[in-house]
Amino acid sequence: MSDETTDWLGQPQDDGTPDPVRAARGHAKPALPRRFYTEAGFSESPDGFRLTLDGRPANTPARNPLRLPTRALAERVAAEWAAQETQIDPARMPLTRLANTAIDGVAPRLDAVAADLSAYAGTDLVAYRAGDPERLVTAQAAAWDPILAWARDTFGARVILSEGVMHVTQPDDTVRALSAAVQAVTDPFCLAGLHTLTTLTGSLLIALAVLRGRLTPAEAWAAAHVDETYQAAVWGRDTEAEARLEARRAEFEAAAELVALQR
């Protein structure tokens, strides 16, 4: 069998030990592998729903079982594999990539991932406001003030605002409250989704609002990109920048879908 086949399909002699070389290779950009299967599906067990390719159980890049916690997520991941054509393109499989991240990268290090996310409590996007022009000031307030009010009511987190890029130190109670909200997320799939939502927006508060169902993905994306929307309205849209933004939005929406499917 080819390397990609043995990477994705479990073998009888597998002991479940992750292969760091293969895992690292999974993050490189080699030529796209050919589709080597006819049918993608999943099998159910007491432990969840494992992706199957031509009826054989599939693995993550680190050769852990590619097992999903819910039927809905398993259906969506299987659909991504079924939609591949002559080649397997990871760029068209955002939920699969997030599932692999949750299994290979997040599950073994929940505390470290939570700590990484908690650091955003002190540097959240919505705390840094423009001083002018008035149109941008108003747009930021309209998008971000309701999120701050929700965070105060939900977590007891009172965020201090800053004008411009000057760093502002958030109260210890606020940082602790938001860190506690992150640490309460113990499901690796939810935590992987929360991490993606946070890093793509620069805002832990926006990500938590999506996780908790306070914001829809569209509302959250708009809130995270108030500045870009304003700049595009003033200076016009840049085709390359728009393409990059759309690629990031696809990742964002997949992460939002992942956490929604886990609720």
For residues 205 and 175, state if they share a domain: yes
Q: Are residues 219 and 118 in the same domain?
A: yes
- How large is the C-alpha radius of gyration of the chain? 20
- Three-state DSSP class for residue 29: coil
Q: Do 53 and 143 share a domain, yes or no?
A: no
**Alpha-carbon span 164 to 137, nearest angstrom:** 11
Does 100 fall in a domain? no
Which residues pair with residue 53 across a beta bridge? 40, 56
Question: 50 with 67: CB under 8 angstroms?
Answer: yes
In a domain? residue 202? yes
Would you give per-residue pLDDT tens digits along the chain (263 residues)?
445 555 666 543 344 444 444 444 455 556 899 999 999 999 999 999 999 999 999 999 999 999 999 999 999 999 999 999 999 999 999 999 999 999 999 999 999 999 999 999 999 999 999 999 999 999 999 999 999 999 999 999 999 999 988 899 999 999 999 999 999 999 999 999 999 999 999 999 999 999 999 999 999 999 999 999 999 999 888 888 888 899 999 999 999 999 999 87
Amino acid symbol at 54 = D
Mark whether 56 and 143 lie in a shared domain: no
Whether 43 is covered by a domain: the verdict is yes
Q: 37: which 2 tokens?
A: 């299967």
Nearest CA to 192 out of 260, 90, 113 is that of 113
Does residue 129 belong to any structural domain of this protein? yes
How many CB atoms lie under 10 A from the CB of residue 174? Answer: 22
- Is there a single domain that holds both residue 78 and residue 202? no
- For residue 47, tell me if it sits in a domain: yes
- Can you give the pTM of this predicted structure? 0.88
Structurally, the chain folds into a number of domains equal to: 2
> Are 86 and 185 within one domain?
no
Domain carrying residue 168: 109-262
In this predicted structure, what is the pLDDT of residue 25? 45
CATH of the domain at 29: 3.30.2180.10
The pLDDT of residue 240 is 86
- Report pLDDT for 166: 87
Of 92, 117, 152, the last residue of a domain is: 92
The one-letter amino acid code at 7 reads D
Q: Do residues 67 and 137 both lie within one domain?
A: no
Q: Is residue 104 part of a domain?
A: no
Q: Are residues 240 and 198 part of one domain?
A: yes
| Residues 258, 191 share a domain | yes
CATH code, domain with 132: 1.10.3580.10
How confident is the model at residue 138, as a pLDDT? 97
Residues 180 and 256 in one domain: yes
Please indicate, yes or no, whether residues 129 and 172 belong to a single structural domain of this protein: yes
Residue 172 lies in a domain: yes
The answer to whether residue 72 is domain-embedded is yes
**What single-letter amino acid sits at 199?**
T
* Alpha-carbon dihedral 22, 24, 27, 32, rounded to 10 degrees: -30
Amino acid at 48: G
CA separation, residue 126 to residues 63, 163, 209, 256 (Å): 39, 11, 13, 19
Tell the residue number behind the tokens 């699969």, with chain if given.
Answer: 96
Please check whether residues 59 and 138 belong to one and the same domain. Answer: no
Cα dist. 34→5, 88, 89 in Å?
10, 6, 9
